Amino acid sequence: MLAHTAFEEDDLDALLAGRLGHPHRMLGPHRRTVEGVSSLFIRAWFPFAVRVDVIPGVSTDSPTPMTRLHEAGLFEVMLPDTISVPSYRFRIEEAGGSVVERHDPYAFSLLVADFELHLFSEGTFHKGYDCLGAHIRSLEGVTGVHFVVWAPNAARVSVVGDFNRWDGRCHPMSNRGTSGLWELFIPGLTERTLYKYEILSRHDDRLLVKADPYAHAAELRPRTASIVRELSHYVWHDQAWMAARSRWNPLTSPISIYEVHMGSWMRVPEEGQRWLTYEELAHTLIPYAKDLGYTHLELMPVTEHPFDGSWGYQSTGYFSATSRYGQPEEFMAFVDAAHQAGLGVILDWAPAHFPDDPHGLATFDGTHLYDHADPRRGYHPDWHSRIFNYDRTEVRGFLLNSALFWLDKYHIDGLRVDAVASMLYLDYGRKPGEWIPNTFGGHENLGAISLLKELNILIHREFPGAMTIAEESTSWPGVSRPTYAGGLGFTFKWNMGWMHDMLTYFSRDPIYRRFHQDQLTFGLLYAFTENFVLALSHDEVVHGKRALVDKMPGDVWQRFANLRLLYGCMYGHPGKKMLFMGGEFGQWKEWNHDASLDWHLCENELHHGIRRLIRDLNHLYRTEPALHEADLDWSGFQWIDFNDTDNSVIAYLRTSPTTKSSIVCVCNLTPVPRHHYRIGVPEAGWYRELINTDSFCYGGSNVGNSGGVHSTHSPSHSYPHTLTLSLPPLAVLMLKREPA
């Protein structure tokens, strides 16, 4: 569809001033009747050209020279109306004699449909990532890249890149009205083209150069250009996994998560301590995690980010897999390989805040487009970053699109949403007078609450079996309860209370633990109020908090025994499991994102024993329904005794509601072996020792019960039968009654 037949002087002035918001109205082909004859006027804008010819169609056609209308680079020609639009090309001669041929971007119709503009403005354009950003298109036999960006307060937006000398005069985009979207199809551009948007702010005439918020790839820092990438070429091989996932119930399934920072899990010392690539990680990390029996990998953010020290939590590329480790299709292959190995992939996703890097979202079109201008709402005092405006429809759409994008394009199995508490509370990290109450005078962020609910509804509806996990550290009710019941709708919530109490308890010298046994047992008072993940995450082993084994009291042997005890308690406790990398072999040093884990430690028997224990605990957890089936319900847990504070011993039952089988868990939290220790059990029989964390094979002293023990018919702890056990020091026993 052709534009107006002529241009106004105002349009020429705007073009020359770099403020033209409707270039299709002035540039490109325009039909006009002159003296009764219909003719085609073609107008072009080439600031670097000394001569421009039009080649009407095929290469054998004779070129027609264009007339220079303005010395700044505006050209025009009149041709017969028989010329095919948009098949004509320009032949452009630049100063120095170089000659190039290209199609006319303004000969192609605008592509964003009216209904897409409506959905975008309404906030229901849930697959907007297939439209916004940069996408390779083929229009009427001509291949190029279609660019769409949201910048409602811009006077002009241009696409800039190597293809036009990064000069914003060359390719101004067309404004799509009240939607605030701008678009342009540039023929001839290909995949891997570098580009940005040059934005002239209507607000204060500032000229900004911004990366594409919807870009599918970006340059490796410190370079910041966006990269045109097509994501549909990769051929997936995980159909069986995806089909099974859609029928999977995560609440009753074993979930054991290995949390990983891809840049520091393992490095290549022979090559300057470089990172492993996505491909190399697929060949090393995935078999390693599978061998240890984990069900899922959780990746700290792979969204593109400029600062390594943010660990990915301050992102500038919410649709870009970081180029640190390779190309988008290589990350797809990583996820594919994980699925084929039977491992799910969870991605850390950070919608709570974004950095103020000049190429990013901050003051994107010269205004606080994605955040609040008032620092009491828009500035994060803890992280010195910007807070998203969750009340703005287009910002909500951006975040929802980002979340859905990773599950759609990369087959991600779940999102762990970072810093949910900071989203929920307007006064998070603020002193009185530093925040603005909501409409009702409260401190709840109503926009963030509704966004999180919508996010969870969409993910669970569109991607059955996918999980959402909230890092939420307060007592906000119903985080993992359905939205129809008043909850936020997450599948799971990190159990931060359990983590805090356990680490505090285990850091105490065992001689004093008798006075603090409530820290060990208190978590059971609320263990089933949410769908909990027991998380020992990266946050617990940085910033002077010390590594897990280094938190433990005592000599080296006791520290490792305490760590084995902690893991045994974790796997016996109701809730899904998560452990940060390095914890599985007792890394001594705090995590350092700039260095590899200390893999040489695994040559030491104590460290190797920890890893062997994690493997056996994962195997037992996955194969015994009693340990996972009712993780989230009282029907799967029953105390035997939690009152023996003098000996610092607790005992309980884990039970499967379907198989009716039970696991007896007994924890001795002191270095004193307890012989002839009696606990009650509900059934008579031979109880086999499934796990003894004090076993020789784990680095322990091998105190135990020679593989099992018979019950006696004498009441104890309100049960009709008794087990008389030898409790090893600083250890957990897990026992199961064998069928008669």
Sequence-distant (6+) residues with CB within 8 A of 446 are 391, 438, 439
Q: Is 413 noted as a catalytic residue in this protein?
A: no
Which two structure tokens, joined as six digits, stand for 373?
């201008």
- Quote the crossing angle between the two packed helices 393-409 and 114-122, to the nearest 10°: 110
Burial class (CB in 10 A: 0-12, 13-18, 19+), 547: buried
How far apart CA 227 and CA 320 sit, in angstroms, is 9
Tokens of 126: 């849930």
Neighbours of 240 (CB within 10 A): 10
Q: Enter the tokens of residue 209.
A: 């150069």
Taking the C-alpha atoms of residue 487 and residue 242, their distance in angstroms, rounded to an integer, is: 27
Catalytic residue among 418, 501, 631, 689: 418
For 545, counting Cβ atoms within 10 Å of its Cβ (0-12 exposed, 13-18 middle, 19+ buried), the class is middle
Q: Which helix or strand (DSSP H or E) is residue 29 part of? A: strand 28-34
- CB-based contact 179:117 (threshold 8 Å): yes
Alpha carbon distance 548, 567 (integer Å): 11
Q: Which of 304, 471, 616, 694 is catalytic?
A: 471
3-state secondary structure 332-394: HHHHHHHHHCCCEEEEEECCCCECCCCCCCCCCCCCCCCECCCHHHHEECCCCEECECCCCHH
Cα separations in angstroms, 352 against 358, 386, 417, 421, 472: 19, 9, 9, 9, 12
418 is catalytic: yes
Helix (H) or strand (E) holding 46: none
Contact 501, 537 (CB under 8 A): no
Residue of 659, 661, 657 lying closest to 634 (CA atoms)? 657
CA distances to 154, 535, 663 from 19, rounded to whole Å, are 9, 53, 73
Residue 317 has phi, psi (to 5 degrees) of -130, 85
Give the whole-angstrom CA distance, residue 506 versus residue 513: 8
Cα–Cα distance measured from residue 713 to residue 700, given in angstroms and rounded to the nearest whole number: 32
Per-position b or e across 84-120, b if 16+ CB within 10 A of its CB: ebbbbbbbbbbeeeeeeebbbbbbbebebeeebbebb
Q: Which residues contact 165 (CB under 8 A, 6 or more apart)?
A: 48
Amino acid, res. 522: F
C-alpha to C-alpha distances, 374 to 290, 361, 379, 387, nearest whole angstrom:
48, 16, 8, 10
CB neighbours of 490 closer than 8 A, spacing ≥ 6? 417, 452, 456, 468, 469, 470, 479, 480, 531
Residue 715 has phi, psi (to 5 degrees) of: -65, 145
Q: CA angle, corner 693, sides to 692 and 695, nearest 5? A: 70
Single-letter residue type at 628: H
Which H/E stretch holds residue 130?
A: none
Residues 6+ apart with CB under 8 A from 141: 87
User: Which stretches within 8-73 are classed as H helix?
Assistant: 9-16
Q: Where are the alpha helices (DSSP H) in 590-728?
A: 605-623
Active centre residues (catalytic)? 418, 471
